[in-house]
């Protein structure tokens, strides 16, 4: 496999917004056109929305339209596209037949060699009744996934999720503790739920975990009669929207992220804002040049912020460059760390989750006791 090297701090992300219909071949052709446009705009990584290949509510029509992963022509076409464009292509999700009666809502991360490096099956099924009368039972046709997935990009670790997962913050906490710097949240939010919660949830997941959020969306009125919200978003760890498709039509949005630098920039910004501007003015009044006043007055005052920001950026970069792999090992697309294990165990076996959590707690206590002499004085 070819090693694809990139500047680890500069990462250009593109999100594809779609209006998928009932014909998988047509939807895949539209996705290929938009992904190619994203590549022309300099993207390193492209994310498509949930249900890229088909939006269908009729059960018989859905199962007639989809195929197993091994024979899915749309997946094969998108792998070929990634290989030809030398691009990371993240298919937000495809409806994949896993048995005659069940499908998976499955996300695929494809590297620039066209290899699938990670798969994720949506864990939380969208089984809801909305106030406007709409009703959805995703679990009637789809089987839920049973594991969280994080995968490594050249720019950092990516936590995978799909749409309704966004409402379950424990999943993202586990992915963040496993070293994720980015969350992918391909979605097909209804118009009602999108207007109420889309921006709120995307920004909340970013802020509470200090991670970037990439949320590609379906938008508009679909052939099956469902209306989705659109408004694909790229959100930074500070909760700021870096790019948004402020509509529900198909299109591409692009933003460039700086992975570790925001921690330094934000710390420095706060440090300089806290300095009394009168100090520098007094120095210049006494004859000091602007440069002298900055280097001898303002910069020393901001030094604690500079050091703190540098430490935060270094710690974040350490996680992005493989600390989890070093200490936990790595199987492509299946890296399992203790936080992810605890989260998944809570879904299946609460007693096992408590046991794993106690192991973490006991380990922390042992470390504290072993190092107590470093900060305790007699």
Residues belonging to the active site: 50, 122, 163
Give SS3 for 69: helix
**Token output for 266:** 């934000």
Beta strands, E only, the chain: 10-17, 45-47, 88-97, 103-110, 116-121, 127-129, 135-137, 149-153, 156-160, 180-184, 212-215, 219-221, 227-229, 233-235, 241-244, 251-258
Label residue 45 exposed, middle or buried (CB < 10 Å: 0-12, 13-18, 19+): buried
Asked if 54 and 95 count as a contact pair (C-beta separation under 8 A), the reply is yes
> Rounded to whole angstroms, how far apart are CA atoms 26 and 56?
14
Closest of 49, 35, 44, 54 to residue 216, by C-alpha: 49
**Cβ(114)–Cβ(85) below 8 Å:** no
Cβ-contact 329, 276 below 8 angstroms: no
Cα 147–Cα 44–Cα 29 angle in degrees, nearest 5:
80
Measuring CA to CA, how many Å separate 121 from each of 31, 98, 144, 146, 166? 20, 11, 7, 8, 14
What is the DSSP track for 295-333? IIIIHHHHHHHHHHHHHHHHHHHHHHTTHHHHHH---TT
Q: In the 8-state DSSP scheme, what is residue 218? A: B
Q: What angle do CA 203, 198, 270 make, to 5 degrees?
A: 15
Residue closest to 188 by CA, chosen among 230, 137, 131: 230
């Amino acid at each position: 496999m070819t090693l694809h090297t990139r500047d680890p701090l500069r990462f250009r992300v593109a999100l594809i917004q779609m209006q998928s219909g009932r014909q998988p071949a047509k939807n895949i052709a539209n996705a290929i056109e938009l992904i190619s446009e994203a590549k022309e705009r300099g993207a390193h990584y492209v994310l498509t929305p949930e249900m890229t290949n088909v939006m269908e509510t009729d059960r018989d029509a859905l199962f007639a339209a989809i195929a197993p992963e091994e024979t899915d022509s749309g997946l094969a076409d998108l792998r070929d596209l990634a290989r030809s464009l030398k691009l990371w292509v993240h298919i937000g999700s495809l409806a994949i037949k896993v048995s005659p009666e069940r499908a998976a809502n499955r996300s695929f991360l494809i590297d620039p060699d066209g290899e699938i490096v990670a798969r994720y099956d949506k864990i939380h099924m969208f089984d809801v009744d909305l106030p406007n009368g709409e009703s959805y039972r995703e679990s009637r046709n789809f089987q839920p996934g049973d594991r969280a997935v994080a995968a490594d990009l050249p720019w950092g670790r990516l936590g995978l999720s799909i749409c309704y997962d966004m409402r379950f913050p424990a999943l993202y906490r586990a992915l963040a503790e496993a070293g994720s710097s980015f969350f992918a949240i391909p979605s097909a939010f209804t118009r009602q739920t999108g207007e109420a919660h889309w921006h709120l949830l995307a920004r909340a997941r970013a802020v509470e975990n200090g991670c970037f959020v990439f949320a590609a969306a379906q938008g508009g009125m679909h052939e099956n009669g469902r209306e989705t919200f659109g408004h694909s978003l790229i959100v930074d760890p500070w909760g700021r929207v870096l790019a948004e498709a402020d509509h529900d039509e198909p299109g591409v949005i692009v933003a460039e992220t700086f992975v570790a630098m925001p921690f330094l920039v934000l710390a420095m910004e706060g440090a300089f804002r806290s300095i009394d501007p009168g100090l520098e003015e007094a120095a210049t009044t006494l004859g000091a040049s602007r440069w002298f006043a900055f280097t001898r007055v303002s910069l020393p005052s901001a030094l604690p912020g500079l050091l703190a920001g540098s430490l935060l950026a270094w710690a974040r970069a350490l996680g992005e460059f493989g600390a989890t792999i070093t200490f936990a090992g790595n199987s492509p697309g299946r890296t399992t760390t203790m936080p992810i294990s605890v989260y998944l165990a809570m879904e299946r076996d609460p007693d096992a989750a408590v046991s794993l959590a106690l192991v973490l707690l006991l380990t922390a206590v042992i470390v504290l006791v072993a190092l107590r002499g470093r900060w305790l004085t007699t």
